[in-house]
């Protein structure tokens, strides 16, 4: 049983986040009846993504369908007297550069904050939405917060698949919300994309931000937002508000009792709250809990098959000298679950920045063109007239032998900055005689096959929105194409 003093409601914001989160643990989004300061669930706003990228078919179907199914499960799991409102964005205006201004204002309150009463009717407010536009995520969160009380516990749950493409100021939003709604907690799950852009605002409100790869993971992550133990468990970014990639100074500022580093020649280790935190160059690289529970409910002693069911096939598997097997399951672009199993029973779970690197990575500078440069400031040779839109990017060739991807943040490509560079030869293309030559350049493909009279291979890059698709006629030179990210199974 859990209890909490009414004095918590008057906590000054100047208290450290660690202290504030600990004292408010039972009054925020925790929905378990045995550990709540409320007779019913706190009022909750769901922020639902209807931007055009939700039409990508890489989740055993469209992303939007997986998101709707997960949202339906969330709605049906809530008691009928729970207050739930829904804000959606991106459903009314298209995603062309000319429509950006209108699309970035396309944030709608599709359901006012009110008791659910009927789950089917509540779900229908988003069931018919068709994704169309840009991603004004910050404005959507702000609108959701404005529907909630300022003097009692409340919740926002964000379900999105990408970064804010409308120049949202998350730093200002975080500062505003934490002062206007001191008992509001924000949790976020981003579908198919890293949740780093939401980490600050979720952490500042005592919430978490995680990623999901499919409908099953989406559903489980949303469940974890309502389960005290799962919410405090090891998630794909970190544990208890301490995330991979965080700097030791930042961690100690937010957690004053976090010990100083103990270092050997290559790494530094800290034991804190029954977990080992491993650092390199002051940056957190791995978390090894003594008795871990993951956000998906995976624990020591479970079958490795349960992990595979939750996380998909491992990206890497190898036998260790002691007879055990190590599995790596990707989490976003950088993180991974490193699981050790003996006779298919899990004996160890570590969250780490330990994904194997692909042979080909997008360069930071190629042929005198550097990431971060505004296109209009590049040397002559930019084929701006033939710039094409690829998802959230402009793709532009340059005579220096590179294909430039610039984030689509302005109607005029020349005002945007280089985000990624992919090299070509001086003729603007790479050619391969066979799959073996392509493999030697890019590394192992995600998929290889034959379509009609042509062979093809699909290779990943370190940009989750882009991949190489190479196809060729047998015995002839291959023609490389670069396309927006979609599942290799679509080929």
CB 223 within 8 A of CB 217: no
Residue with the larger pLDDT of the pair 234 and 3: 234
CB 468 within 8 A of CB 442: yes
| CATH annotation of 44-232 | 3.40.50.410
What percent of the chain shows pLDDT beyond 90?
45
The whole-chain average pLDDT of the chain stands at 80
Terminal Cα-to-Cα distance of the chain (whole angstroms) = 54
Q: What pLDDT digit, counting tens, does each position of 434-482 carry?
A: 666 676 666 666 666 655 556 677 776 655 556 667 776 655 555 555 4
Q: Do domains 44-232 and 242-352 have the same CATH topology?
A: no
Q: What is the pLDDT of residue 392?
A: 63
The neighbouring-strand residues paired with 188 are 158, 209
Is 186's pLDDT higher than 90? yes
Q: What is the pLDDT of residue 454?
A: 65
**Which two tokens mark 426?**
């001086």
Is 297's pLDDT higher than 80? yes
Q: Mean pLDDT, to the nearest integer, of 164-186?
A: 94
| pLDDT class of 268 with cuts at 50, 70, 90 | very high
Is 427's pLDDT higher than 50? no
| pLDDT class of 135 with cuts at 50, 70, 90 | very high
Q: What is the pLDDT of residue 462?
A: 54
Q: Mean pLDDT, to the nearest integer, of 126-144?
A: 94
Architecture of domain 242-352 in this structure: 3-Layer(aba) Sandwich (3.40)
**Which two tokens mark 173?**
């939003």
| pLDDT class of 98 with cuts at 50, 70, 90 | confident
53-62, 256-265, 374-383: least confidently modelled range: 53-62
For residue 489, count other CB atoms closer than 10 A to its CB.
11
Is 31's pLDDT higher than 50? no
Q: What is the pLDDT of residue 37?
A: 31
Q: What are the residue ranges spanned by the domains of the chain?
A: 44-232, 242-352, 373-423, 435-485
28-42, 297-311, 328-342: least confidently modelled range: 28-42
Q: Mean pLDDT, to the nearest integer, of 238-258?
A: 92
| pLDDT class of 154 with cuts at 50, 70, 90 | very high
Query: What region, left, alpha or beta, does residue 249 occupy, with left being phi > 0 and alpha being psi -120 to 50 degrees?
Result: alpha
- Label each residue of the chain as H, E or C: CCCCCHHHHHCCCCCCHHHHHHHCCCCCCCCCHHHCCCCCCCCEEEEEECEHHHHCECCCCEHHHHHHHHHHHHHHHCCCCCEEEEEEECCCCCCCHHHHHHHCCCEEEEEEEEECCCHHHHHHHHHCCCCCECCCHHHHHHHHHCCCCCCCCEEEEEEECCCCCCCCCHHHHHHHHHHHCCCEEEEEEEECCCCHHHHHHHHHCCCCEEEECCHHHHHHHHHHCCCHHHHCCECCCEECCEECCCEHHHHHHHCCCCCCCEECCCCEEEEECCEEEEEECCEEEEEEECCCEECCCCECCCEHHHHHHHHCCCCEEEECCCCCEEEEEEECCCEEEEEEEECCEEEEEEEECCCCCCCCCCECEECCEECCCEHHHCCCCECHHHCEEECCEEEEEECCCEEEEEECCCCCHHHCEEEEEEECCCCCCCEECCHHHHHHHHCCCCEEEEECCEEEEEEECCCCCEEEEEEECCCCCEEEEEEECCCHHHC
Q: What is the pLDDT of residue 194?
A: 62
Q: What is the pLDDT of residue 434?
A: 63
Give the C-alpha separation, 298 to 399, whole Å.
51
68-72, 394-398, 467-471: least confidently modelled range: 467-471
Q: Mean pLDDT, to the nearest integer, of 335-352?
A: 96
Burial of 380 (0-12, 13-18, 19+ CB in 10 A): exposed
Q: Mean pLDDT, to the nearest integer, of 111-119?
A: 95
Q: Mean pLDDT, to the nearest integer, of 145-154?
A: 96
222-231, 239-248, 396-405, 434-443: least confidently modelled range: 434-443
Give the C-alpha separation, 403 to 406, whole Å.
10
Give the C-alpha separation, 312 to 190, whole Å.
17
49-53, 359-363, 369-373, 407-411: least confidently modelled range: 359-363
Q: What is the largest CA-CA distance in the chain?
A: 77
| pLDDT class of 491 with cuts at 50, 70, 90 | very low
């Amino acid at each position: 049983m859990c209890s909490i003093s009414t004095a918590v409601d008057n906590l000054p914001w100047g208290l450290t986040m660690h202290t504030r989160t600990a004292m408010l643990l039972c009054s925020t989004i925790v929905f378990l009846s045995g550990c709540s300061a409320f007779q019913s669930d706190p009022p909750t706003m769901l922020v639902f993504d209807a931007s055009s990228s939700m039409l990508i078919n890489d989740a055993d179907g469209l992303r939007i369908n997986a998101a709707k199914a997960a949202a339906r499960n969330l709605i049906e799991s809530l008691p009928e007297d729970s207050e739930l409102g829904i804000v959606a964005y991106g459903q009314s205006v298209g995603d062309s550069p000319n429509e950006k201004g209108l699309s970035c204002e396309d944030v709608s309150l599709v359901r006012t904050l009110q008791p659910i009463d009927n789950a089917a009717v509540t779900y229908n407010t988003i069931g018919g939405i068709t994704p169309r536009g840009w991603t004004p995520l910050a404005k959507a969160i702000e609108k959701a917060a404005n529907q909630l009380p300022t003097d009692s516990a409340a919740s926002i749950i964000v379900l999105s698949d990408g970064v804010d493409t409308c120049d949202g100021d998350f730093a200002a939003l975080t500062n505003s919300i934490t002062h206007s709604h001191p008992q509001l907690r924000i949790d976020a799950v981003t579908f198919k994309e890293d949740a780093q852009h939401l980490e600050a605002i979720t952490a500042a409100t005592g919430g978490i931000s995680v990623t999901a790869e499919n409908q099953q993971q989406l559903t489980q992550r949303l469940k974890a937002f309502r389960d005290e133990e799962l919410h405090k468990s090891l998630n794909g970014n970190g544990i208890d508000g301490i995330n991979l990639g965080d700097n030791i100074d930042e961690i100690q500022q937010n957690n004053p009792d976090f010990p100083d580093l103990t270092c050997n020649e290559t790494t530094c280790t800290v034991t804190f709250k029954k977990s080992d935190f491993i650092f390199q160059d002051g940056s957190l690289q791995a978390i090894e809990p003594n008795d871990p529970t993951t956000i998906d409910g995976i624990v020591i002693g479970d079958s490795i098959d349960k992990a595979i069911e939750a996380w998909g096939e491992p990206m890497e598997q190898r036998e260790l000298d002691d007879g055990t097997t190590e599995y790596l399951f990707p989490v976003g672009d950088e993180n991974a679950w490193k699981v050790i199993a003996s006779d298919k029973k899990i004996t160890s779970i570590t969250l780490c920045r330990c994904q194997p690197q692909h042979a080909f990575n997008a360069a930071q500078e190629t042929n005198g063109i550097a990431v971060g440069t505004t296109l209009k400031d590049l040397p002559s040779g930019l084929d701006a007239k033939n710039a094409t839109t690829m998802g959230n990017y402009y793709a532009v060739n340059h005579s220096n032998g590179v294909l430039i991807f610039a984030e689509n943040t302005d109607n005029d490509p020349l005002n945007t900055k280089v985000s990624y560079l992919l090299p070509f030869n001086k003729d603007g293309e790479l050619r391969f005689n066979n799959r073996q030559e392509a493999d030697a350049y890019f590394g192992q493909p995600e998929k290889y096959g034959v379509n009609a009279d042509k062979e093809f291979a699909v290779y990943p890059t370190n940009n989750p929105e882009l991949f190489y698709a190479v196809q060729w006629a047998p015995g002839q030179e291959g023609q490389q194409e670069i396309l927006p990210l979609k599942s290799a199974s679509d080929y």
